[in-house]
Amino acid sequence: MTENLLPNPHFGWFTRVPSRAGVSEAESLEEFFKSVEYLEAQGFDAVWIGEEHNEPGVFISGANFTLAAAAAARTTRLKIGMAIVAVPLTHPLRIAEAAASVDQISNGRLIFGAGRSSKVDAYLTSNVDYGESRDRQIEGLEVIKKAWTEDIFTHKGRYYSFPEVKIAPKPFQKPHPPIYYAAGSPPSYEIAGRNGYNIFIMPRGDRAVIRERVETYHQAWRDAGHPGRGDVVGTFLVHIADTHEQAVAEAKDSTMSLWLRQAKIGGPHPALDDAINELRKTSHTVLQSNNYEELVESDVIANFGTPEEVAESMQTLRDDLGLSGFQIDVGIYNLFTPEQINEQLQRFAEEVRPRIT
């Protein structure tokens, strides 16, 4: 990737909205909103709110459109990103209405991020077949775009069919808010490019493989005749300290808690068939078989160290993968206090961001 092809980088905070031990859910939510206000004051471009279900005491972002609307009401400039809306779990017309409402409340600051979610339990509790998730997402996004852009429309598909439909409100942004597609598996890069969606990625493992998948995305974008260049945003774990050793040590408990959670969620599940479970076994095994220090050194998602080290690492990732934006996860799991999160946001804004070009 040549640097001069890339737009100026944009930076956001990725959060699943932690439910912290020892405080009420109301207090945890207020801590989140205070950090969002602080994020805007520090000059960040966006907050990206995850959607997490069935994890009481860990995360409280199941209703992320509600959180997005409240965050929009407490800010004036910050973009409000959804990372992600699990499209297969909710009827697309309800998603279209909720997203358009947030876009109106924020005067056009919504970024709509769509994904499938690998959390099988969320599919079980939503009575949706996980094996249908990719096709449901593709069709759901088709319905959502129709609802946003057409006054009256019809749809007849595999999962959703209805006669003349009209929704209100329509989005503030025209023709609609920017759509980002969570690209993880190889087919998702091609799907996103073909449909003209921006992407965000949570890069893991071999950098060369990730770079090849991103190029597949750009090629599919060009082949479909879309103008310009799709936006590629990377999500990374970030922790900054005065020394490398201090940063790695301070992030350990929260990072390992997150990785063990992801290993469980992304691993084999009794509700899935043998073929899918075989594919999910690899990442599950890798996360559980390596020790923390080895994972930090080998996994591109972890960027821990001094401000200079973090900036250098993220600059290299930007150049190698053609990233136009970053979602930084400085909370990592739910073990950091709001004061620690805000300190990390401030250090990134003042000591890291100016070094990334």
DSSP 7: P
- Over range 67-85, report the average pLDDT: 98
Query: Binning pLDDT at 50, 70 and 90, where does residue 5 land?
Result: low
Joined together, the tokens standing for residue 105 give 């409340």
Lowest mean pLDDT among 28-32, 67-71, 269-273, 349-353: 269-273
Q: Tell me, yes or no, if the pTM score tops 0.75.
A: yes
> What does the pLDDT read at residue 265?
85
pLDDT score at 114: 98
Burial class (CB in 10 A: 0-12, 13-18, 19+), 294: exposed
Which tens digit of pLDDT belongs to each residue from 130-173?
999 999 999 999 999 999 999 999 999 999 999 999 999 999 99
- Other residues' Cβ atoms within 10 Å of the Cβ of residue 106: 22
pLDDT digits (tens, 9 = 90+) for 226-252: 999 999 999 999 999 999 999 999 999
Exposed/middle/buried for residue 67 (C-beta within 10 Å: 0-12, 13-18, 19+): buried
Q: Give the domain extent around 128.
A: 3-244+301-355
Residue 131 belongs to domain with CATH number: 3.20.20.30
Tens of pLDDT, residue by residue over 100-117, are 999 999 999 999 999 999
Q: Region 332-340: what's the mean pLDDT?
A: 94
**Tell me, what's the pLDDT at 214?**
97
Give the pLDDT of residue 4: 46
Whether the bond between 175 and the residue before it is cis, its omega within 30 degrees of 0, is yes
Residue 50 lies in a domain: yes
255 belongs to a structural domain: no
202 falls in which pLDDT band (50, 70, 90)? very high
- Domain assignment of residue 341, yes or no: yes
Q: In this predicted model, what pLDDT tens digit does every residue of 258-307 receive, in sequence order?
A: 998 988 888 888 888 887 888 777 665 666 667 899 889 988 999 999 99
Number of structural domains, the chain? 1
Q: Which residue has the higher pLDDT, 272 or 200?
A: 200
Peptide bond into 169 cis (omega under 30): yes
Q: Does residue 287 fall inside a structural domain?
A: no
Residue 253 is assigned to a structural domain of this protein: no
Residue 146 belongs to some domain of the structure: yes
Q: What is the pLDDT of residue 271?
A: 82
Residues 307, 309, 314, 315, CA torsion sign? positive
Q: How far apart are alpha carbons 37 and 13 in whole angstroms?
A: 12
pLDDT of residue 272: 83
- The tens digit of pLDDT for each residue in 166-183 reads 999 999 999 999 999 999
Residue 193 within any structural domain of the chain = yes
pLDDT of residue 2: 41
Residue written as tokens 């309800």? 94
| DSSP conformation letters of 54-100 | S-TTTB--SSHHHHHHHHHHT-SS-EEEES-EEGGGS-HHHHHHHHH
pLDDT tens digits along 31-44: 999 999 999 999 99
Map tokens 């966006």 to a residue: 46
Question: Is residue 211, in this structure, part of any structural domain at all?
Answer: yes
Q: Say if residue 3's pLDDT is above 50.
A: no
Please state, rounded to an integer, the average pLDDT across all residues of the chain.
Answer: 94
Give me the pLDDT at residue 168, please: 97
